[in-house]
A and B are shown apart, each in its own frame.
With several copies, the nearest count.
Chain A
Amino acid sequence: MAVAEPQFDDLYREIILDHYRRPRNRGELATPSQRVEGVNPVCGDEIHLDLEIGDDTIRDVSYWGHGCSISQSSASMLTERLKGCSIEEAERVMGKVRAMLIDGAAPDDEIGDLQALEGVARLPVRVKCALLCWNVLKEGLQQATTAA
């Protein structure tokens, strides 16, 4: 074929596929302070997050679930980026990721690997996939702060 590979290659960046193939922090935590989940009813994607939060810090975080490469890699990157972060930092990162995905804002280095999801913003129908774990996280953080 003379035609170049279609444009969606910038969607499936190597880093996304790597997180999809070799998920980080996958599984349950022994003693989560928060266990939250979310389902995308349209496509059936499912994400569960276990959070161990104390002293305003995400001491540990893991995920499990199933779905497409975008939803699963987003969750894997989330755990990798946020493990050990203060809640304040986590919220800042969450804000930046959401801004990137929802408003197409340019990502910055603070969000790390998650910058690879930038291409998703162009595909409204897949944005929900990438957002799923972040919506779940939001609920988890809310629970943690109201519990505190």
Chain B
Amino acid sequence: MIDPREIRKDFPILEQQVNGRPLVYLDNAATTQKPRQVIEALVRYYETSNANIHRGIHTLAVRATEQYEAVRGKTAAFLSASHPEDIVFTRNTTEALNLVARAWGDANVHEGDEIVLTLMEHHSNIVPWQQLAQRTGALLRYAGITPEGKLDLDEVRGLIGPRTKVVSVTHMSNVLGTINAVAEIGEMARQAGALMVVDGAQSAPHLPVDVEALGCDFFAFSAHKMLGPTGVGVLWARRGLFETMEPFLGGGDMIALVRQDESTWADVPHKFEAGTPNIADVVAFGAALDYLQDLGMGAVRAHEMALTAYAMEQLSSIEGLTMHGPERADERGGVVSFAMNPAHPHDIATIADGHGVAIRAGHHCAQLLMRHLGVAATSRASFSIYNDKDDIEALAEALEHVNRVFG
């Protein structure tokens, strides 16, 4: 059982006041806060071990390399993946998805091929595919959403066919909270001979994830959304897949032999990590993974699901408030998007901020979904392990205030 009161002691940033009220941070889907264990890991790295990795013989270089590579192993373990070499570190989910679209896509997707996405994708899982389509002449097909905010699986099934080369779907919507049946969709993709890419930016931080059980081909996520530092993303690929791919970025550390006209590549995963990596932050990400593993992702999920249920209950009693997304908390992650007409989401966020409550307002990098919902923007509260019922009540109180202003 997670005790947010205990956990909060590890998060120095939460001790502050905002606009004269204790900070209530409910913008976790954008980025989470970092426990002191992660901050200390950064400090420790820079104060004891910092050096460039992989090519050094001196003590610091060896130490830094070991620490960096150890996190590859931890990341694999976190995903229940068997091979650390199948983990490539990127800057963020966005870069991971671009890597797939370029390094796998450019070689495997051709004119007339189809790429299946959904209307609830984050721009980071749309634009790289649009760019690929533009480069290759492939076509994008979008699966729609049911009135309850779930992915329309029948439509997905209908869209996947012999011309489908890749299906790329978010594991959990960053707006609706919807958890998608990616294993099932992956099975459809496999039967059509297509690859399955899972955008795990919102799932890895909040659900137990077993990439091998999911049966996907690529899985991408960001450290900064799961207690880790900014600047680290992860791309996992199914065993053997990275080996078949040409590199993406070229430069130091990803080569075996460089000649004037051509080069040969280092082994996977180094082939995909050109230049000096974000060493310190990868090392500190290890501390974030430890923190989550110590809590247990099952416990994290249980805590956030309970909080989501409580939030939905509290918010449903606020006059004029309508929520987007699935009705049952067990079918969604800890994200609640809502509208309170005539108050505009930006006004709601500003008033909430006046209460010290940090929520997000806008299109959440999901303009296709906004258009589908028929809104320009939504307000969104999203939860993490340090949030508790008091936070939800502070939000509800702020929203009552919105009603007093706009009512």
Contacts and interface: CB of A to CB of B under 8 A. Distances in A.
Interface of A: 1, 3, 5-9, 11-12, 17, 20-21, 39, 41-45, 66-70, 123-126, 129
A11 B406 CA distance: 12
Interface stretch (B2-10, B111-119, B343-351): B343-351
| Interface size range of chain B in the complex | 35 or more
A6 B402 CA distance: 11
5 contacts: A6-B401, A21-B342, A41-B266, A126-B57, A129-B346
Contacts of A67: 344, 346, 376
Given A6-B20, A8-B354, A125-B57, A44 B377 contact: yes
A123 B355 contact: no
Contacts, number: 73
Contact of B406 (A1, A8, A17, A41): A17
Contacts of B56: 125
Contacts of B389: none
Interface of B: 19-21, 54-57, 61-62, 66, 256-257, 266-267, 342-347, 350-351, 353-355, 361-363, 376-377, 397, 401, 404-406
A17 B352 CA distance: 17
A124 to B, nearest CB: 6
A8 B401 CA distance: 11
A79 to B, nearest CB: 19
A43 B377 contact: yes
Contacts of A8: 19, 350-351, 353-354
A44 B362 contact: yes
B57 A69 contact: no
Given A17-B406, A43-B377, A67-B376, A1 B350 contact: no
Contacts of B377: 43-44
A67 B376 CA distance: 8
Contacts of B361: 43
A12 B267 CA distance: 31
Contact of B354 (A6, A68, A69, A70): A6
Contacts of A9: 354, 405
A66 B346 CA distance: 12
A6 B19 contact: yes
Contacts of B66: 124
Nearest to B376: A44
B374 to A, nearest CB: 12
Given A17-B405, A68-B347, A125-B57, A7 B256 contact: no
Given A41-B256, A41-B266, A68-B346, A124 B62 contact: yes
